[in-house]
Amino acid sequence: MADMQLPGEPLRIGLLLFPGFQALDAFGPLDCINVLSRTEGITLSLLSSTLDPVSTTCPEYPGSVGQEILPTHTYAAPPPLDVLLVPGGRGSRGSGPTVLAAIKFIKDTYPRLKYVITVCTGSGLAARAGVLDGKRATTNKMAWKEMMALGPEVQWVSRARWVTDGNIWTSSGVSAGIDVTLAWIGSVFGEEKAKRIADEIEYTRHDDPSCDPFAELYGL
């Protein structure tokens, strides 16, 4: 395969963290990456506006609970990256400074990346960064209309667990991040590796990108 990762070259992966990111949007893909890194050369950076802990908690839901994750790098001093993972969540909405900083980082970093992988409303951030313009992409099905409005130049695909266009992989909501990450691992490191990780985490994959029970559920 043309894009199989060459042995000996560590793949440098970064994930964006912003307040109000959805925990599983990040930790579904990250768990797959963690297991992958036991046998493959991987570096991982968690990037945010500052090095302060980043909470999943959403101010829109007073009294709701969350968790705090430590970033490793700031947007101002990022390491070189080959892959950028963009989670979604309530915190990806609006135009607060942490959202605008994430969008700017995607825009600035994209030209040097080998791959972008978005999960859920993370595709809204990528759309606002302009990197999805003219490309096929998908997103969270419950937030469909809101996301479409953020990317009028994007060819949104409503019935898809995930969509690949060039070097950009976009997935449907939350747990679809596990499926797109395993599919991406299959493409870059080989399908046998992806299957071994899925079996190790006892995950029943959606392995057909066009099979999307949630598009129907949400009337798309």
Strand 155-156 to 42-48 pairing: unpaired
Residue 51 touches its own copies, criterion: CB under 8 A: no
What is the nearest approach in angstroms of its own copies to the Cβ of residue 87? 11
Chain CA centroid to CA 208, Å: 18
Q: Is 120 a catalytic residue?
A: yes
Interface with its own copies includes 201 (CB under 8 A)?
A: yes
User: C-alpha distances in angstroms, 40 versus 8, 32, 95, 206?
Assistant: 9, 12, 38, 24
Is residue 53 at the binding interface for its own copies, with CB under 8 A as the rule? yes
Q: Which two tokens stand for residue 6?
A: 């060459």
Binding mask 13-32 for its own copies (x = CB under 8 A): x--------xxx-xxx-xx-
Q: Is 166 in the site for its own copies (CB under 8 A)?
A: no
Tell the residue number behind the tokens 């101002």, with chain if given. Answer: 76
Widest Cα–Cα separation across the chain: 49
Q: Which of 32, 58, 120, 211 is catalytic?
A: 120
Residue 66 binding its own copies, by CB under 8 A: yes
Of positions 51, 70, 76, 149, contacts its own copies by CB under 8 A: 70
Q: Does the CA dihedral 95-111-190-45 come out positive or negative?
A: negative
Which of the residues 120 through 139 are near its own copies (CB under 8 A)? Answer: none
CA dist 28 and 119 (Å) reads 10
- Of the candidates 96, 45, 43, which has an alpha carbon nearest to the alpha carbon of residue 75? 45
Which residues are known to be catalytic?
A: 120
Tell me which residues touch its own copies (CB under 8 A). Answer: 13, 22-24, 26-28, 30-31, 33-34, 37-38, 41-44, 46, 53, 56, 58, 61, 63-70, 140-142, 172-176, 178, 199-204, 206, 213-214, 217
